[in-house]
């Protein structure tokens, strides 16, 4: 990865951290999840125990990591962050677990990408805080058992369907994060604009909310780009005119679809007669990994009813076909 890229990623994370709500009182939306978490936290606090292991699932950008930060803050524990793909060997996980301290919260993002052998190390660690390491091979192999301090695991996944039954069943609380309502997204935009110190009028708040894909991360990203544009144009308020120009350059349409989303629709229409088409075939035409299509593009296209999943692959709905036709006319 190039230096620039790493810098870019750091900046991306920095502004996410800046806008991340610091407590339940600042966290907008997901009311039922917040209430359940509140009960878990209060009960554990009264019993002076660490909280149950928690699993969050839902699309990217809906606030799974943010909730893990808030839970850690509320419990007063340190948050140690890692992810499924970052844990490559059983030794990596053993090192993470043996470095935990009493009351720590271990956050594993994208836990569905954890390899099955490594996953098996997690079971006894979650169940009775023991780390079992096999020493040697064959008849002389022995198992060394190490006791771990009381800790809680918070895991997040965009693909709950890819989690094994045994892993899923070891979480005391499993919570689905849903897409946000337009009014919650509007509140989030207002809050973020205040933190970013930029004026935005109510029409523009509504417009960004409408193209946000019901996702706070997307809403905040568009808000940031709009702030850049008013800065460059020496204007002082984000309004509809500014957004019109912004959406043109970012190629965002009224539904919040971007270039790659529209390409998926046109690939299904032009290359597969509307589908169904297998995810592998779509992936090679689009030049994007299957997992990215499945976790980034497809959920929203399904949510707004443009494509559907069938047993033989993905297909355009009637509405999707109509939209794809409209897009290809606009291109001509």
Q: Can you give the binding site for ligand ADE, defined by CB under 6 A?
A: 19, 21, 26-29, 63, 66, 188, 191, 216, 220
Q: Name which of 22 and 273 has its Cβ closer to ligand ADE.
A: 22
Q: Is the preceding omega at residue 221 within 30 degrees of 0, hence cis? A: no
Distance (Å, whole) CA 96 – CA 114:
14
Q: Using CB atoms within 10 Å of the CB of residue 229, give its burial: 0 to 12 exposed, 13 to 18 middle, 19+ buried.
A: middle
Tell me if residue 65 is catalytic.
yes
Q: Name which of 92 and 210 has its Cβ closer to ligand ADE.
A: 210
Q: Name which of 66 and 207 has its Cβ closer to ligand ADE.
A: 66
- Shortest Cβ 191–ligand ADE spacing (Å): 5
Distance (Å, whole) CA 108 – CA 106:
6
- Shortest Cβ 187–ligand ADE spacing (Å): 7
- Shortest Cβ 46–ligand ADE spacing (Å): 27
Rounded to 10 degrees, the C-alpha dihedral 244/247/248/250 comes to: 160
Q: What share of the chain is helix, strand, coil (3-state, %, to 5)?
A: 55, 15, 30
Distance (Å, whole) CA 242 – CA 233:
9
Tell me if residue 109 is catalytic.
yes
Tokens of 94: 């053993």
Q: Find the catalytic residue in 157, 158, 207, 218.
A: 158
Pairing of the two strands 130-135 and 142-147: antiparallel
Q: Name which of 15 and 123 has its Cβ closer to ligand ADE.
A: 15
Tell me if residue 207 is catalytic.
no
Q: Cα angle vertex 123, ends 118, 125, to 5°? A: 95
Task: List Cβ neighbours of 244 (8 Å cut-off, separation of 6 or more).
Answer: none
Under 8 Å between Cβ of 97 and 70: no
Tell me if residue 174 is catalytic.
no
Q: Find the catalytic residue in 217, 221, 262, 314.
A: 217
- Shortest Cβ 288–ligand ADE spacing (Å): 25
Q: Find the catalytic residue in 20, 75, 109, 262.
A: 109
- Shortest Cβ 231–ligand ADE spacing (Å): 21
Q: Name which of 158 and 220 has its Cβ closer to ligand ADE.
A: 220
- Shortest Cβ 66–ligand ADE spacing (Å): 6
Q: Name which of 112 and 217 has its Cβ closer to ligand ADE.
A: 217
Q: Rounded to the nearest 10 degrees, what angle do helices 216-232 and 3-19 cross at? A: 110
Tell me if residue 64 is catalytic.
yes
Q: How far is CA 154 from CA 77, 210, 295, 332, in A?
A: 12, 31, 20, 49
Active site residues: 64-65, 109, 158, 217
């Amino acid at each position: 990865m190039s230096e620039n890229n790493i810098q870019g990623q750091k900046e991306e994370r920095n502004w996410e951290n800046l806008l991340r709500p610091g407590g339940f009182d600042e966290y907008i939306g997901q009311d039922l999840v917040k209430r359940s978490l509140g009960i878990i936290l209060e009960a554990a606090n009264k019993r002076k125990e660490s909280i149950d292991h928690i699993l969050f699932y839902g699309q990217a950008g809906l606030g799974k990591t943010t909730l893990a930060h808030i839970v850690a803050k509320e419990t007063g524990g340190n948050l140690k962050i890692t992810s499924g793909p970052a844990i490559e060997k059983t030794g990596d996980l053993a090192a993470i677990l043996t470095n935990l301290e009493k009351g720590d919260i271990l956050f594993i993002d994208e836990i569905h990408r954890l390899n099955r052998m490594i996953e098996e190390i997690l079971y006894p660690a979650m169940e009775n805080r023991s780390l079992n390491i096999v020493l040697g091979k064959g008849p002389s192999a022995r198992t060394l058992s190490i006791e771990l301090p009381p800790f809680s695991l918070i895991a997040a996944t965009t693909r709950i369907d890819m989690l094994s039954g045994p892993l899923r069943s070891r979480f005391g609380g499993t919570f689905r994060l849903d897409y946000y309502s337009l009014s919650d997204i509007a509140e989030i935009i207002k809050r973020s604009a205040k933190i970013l110190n930029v004026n935005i009028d109510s029409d523009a708040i509504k417009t960004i909310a409408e193209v946000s894909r019901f996702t706070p991360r997307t809403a905040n990203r568009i808000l940031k780009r709009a702030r850049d544009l008013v800065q460059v144009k020496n204007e002082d308020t984000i309004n509809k005119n500014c957004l019109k120009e912004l959406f043109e350059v970012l190629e965002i349409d009224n539904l919040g679809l971007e270039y790659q989303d529209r390409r998926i629709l046109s690939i299904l229409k032009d290359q597969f007669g509307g589908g169904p088409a297998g995810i592998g075939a779509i992936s090679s035409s689009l030049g994007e990994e299957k997992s990215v299509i499945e976790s980034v593009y497809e959920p929203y296209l399904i949510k707004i009813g443009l494509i559907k999943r069938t047993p033989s692959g993905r297909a355009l709905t009637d509405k999707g076909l109509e939209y794809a036709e409209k897009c290809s006319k606009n291109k001509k």
